[in-house]
Amino acid sequence: MIALLDIGNSRVKWGWLEGAALHTGRPCATSGDIEQHLSMEWTTPPRRVLVSNVAGPTLQQRLDAWLQTRYGVCAEFVRALPQAYGVTNGYREPRRLGCDRWLALLALRHGWQGAVCVLDVGTAATFDLLDGNGLHRGGAIVPGLNLMARALVDNTVAITSTVLSEADWLGHATDQAIHCGALNALAGMAERLRRQACRELNQPVSAILTGGDALLLASCLPEDWQMAPDLVLQGLAVVAREAA
């Protein structure tokens, strides 16, 4: 089995390759016992494990030691490259691009035609643009929904709760108002950047939505935004196939 791990700040998603097909397993919390969870999920020992990790070096070292001890394999931690798999990194210092964003770009290049942008809504929210030639045109980073709420709690006296509560349009209570504000801030940013991309490239730009809070944001975006919940795993699958 070729196992694929997407370790985010809040959640760990995993999948495996069976031939060319990508399958996904049950996710778990990053703060939980990842090793026990994977031990229960993996019915077949992995012969390769490719990893996207944005949760820090301590977890990375722990996971790699566990994989070597239990399965006799070393984790293959993916890093952003200047150019690979049909994508040219747009960062001035390519290795400083987050591995999750790099892998999302690889998935876009191999899964969509023409220019395409992606909004990844997790602990942070990131927007990236890939043109039709595979050039990463750059991106934007803002706090995610819960971080926006936390910023209000930490810096105001009257707001004391970070619990977000849904509202139809405008909020009729503080928690609803925060929810509406955060959702529309992210949606407005994404649509403005997409429109700018269309003007800069002088062509339509496909739009992809991913990340743990993508479903919450979907109703605030135009209907042509496509959901792709496993984009980072798809990028890992690209690397696994190409580097086989």
Q: Angle at which helices 145-155 and 174-201 pack, to 10 degrees?
A: 130
In the numeric block, the tokens 């690209």 are attached to 238
CA 10 to chain centre: 11
SS (H, E, C) 185-196: HHHHHHHHHHHH
CA 87 to chain centre: 17
Distance CA 151, CA 17 (A): 40
Q: Angle at which helices 231-242 and 99-111 pack, to 10 degrees?
A: 80
Distance CA 210, CA 192 (A): 18
SS3 119: strand
Positions annotated as catalytic residues are: 100
